Amino acid sequence: MTIYIDDAGYGDLLHGAVIGAYRPETDEFVYDMVHVKYFQVPRFGKKGYQTEAGKISMKLVQRLKPKEKETIELCRGDILDKAAESLAKKYREERVKRVKVEGRAQDLIENAYLDEIRNLGYEPIPDRMEKWGKSFWHMFRWVGKNRKMLKYTKSGWPRLQRHKMFQKRKSR
């Protein structure tokens, strides 16, 4: 048996990131969100999102009650680096592997993220995974028209500071 852990939304502009865990043998799926505040200043620079993703991953695995000798396979993305370390300490290094998560696990986790951003009122473009750049700028324009949604953006990315919408207003 295997538990797969993946993330969705990490590179997108809107909301936090979904961390999901899936056991294909029983079709069990659980997820939680890394809050968007971990992708904003000052937490972003300290990679607080990695620590939070580690805590969430541990809780998700515990909810699935891993069987003895069951492997835990995590996506290779850096958001799950601390998760891999923590899980290897608790469940033994030989049971924890970094892999490319695909198939149903990836689809469930991606759909959970899409549901979360739809809850904000945003409708993602079709084929967003294949057209990531187009998707990002679609979100960017949507936030520009819906400024109250700025609080739901991953504004800690240094390149975003070039854009007026993300620059802090100076007090007078």
| 16 within some domain | yes
| 80 within some domain | yes
| 171 within some domain | no
Query: Would you state the torsion angle of the CA atoms of residues 111, 112, 117, 123, taken in this order, to the nearest 10 degrees?
Result: 20
Read off the pTM. 0.91
Find tokens 């009122």 and name the residue.
121
**Of residues 172, 156, 121, the one with CA closest to residue 48:** 156
The enclosing H or E element of 86 equals helix 81-91
| 134 within some domain | yes
Give residue 74's identity as a one-letter amino acid code: L
| 153 within some domain | yes
- Provide the number of structural domains found in the chain: 1
Predicted local distance difference test score (pLDDT) of residue 159: 86
Predicted local distance difference test score (pLDDT) of residue 89: 96
Q: How buried is 54 (Cβ within 10 angstroms: 0-12 exposed, 13-18 middle, 19+ buried)?
A: buried
| 53 within some domain | yes
Predicted local distance difference test score (pLDDT) of residue 129: 66
Predicted local distance difference test score (pLDDT) of residue 151: 94
Which residues, at least 6 apart from 30, have a Cβ–Cβ distance to it below 8 Å? 20, 21, 60, 63, 64
Model confidence over 15-54: pLDDT tens digits? Answer: 999 999 999 999 999 999 999 999 998 899 899 999 999 9
The CA-atom distances, in angstroms, between 90 and each of 1, 21, 85, 94, 109 are 18, 17, 9, 11, 24
**Any idea what the CATH number is for the domain that residue 103 is in?**
3.30.420
The tens-digit pLDDT sequence of the chain (172 residues) is: 999 999 999 989 999 999 999 999 999 999 999 999 999 988 998 999 999 999 999 999 999 999 988 999 999 999 999 999 999 999 999 999 999 999 999 999 999 999 999 999 999 988 776 677 788 899 999 999 999 999 999 999 888 888 888 876 443 3
Boundaries of domain holding 105: 2-166
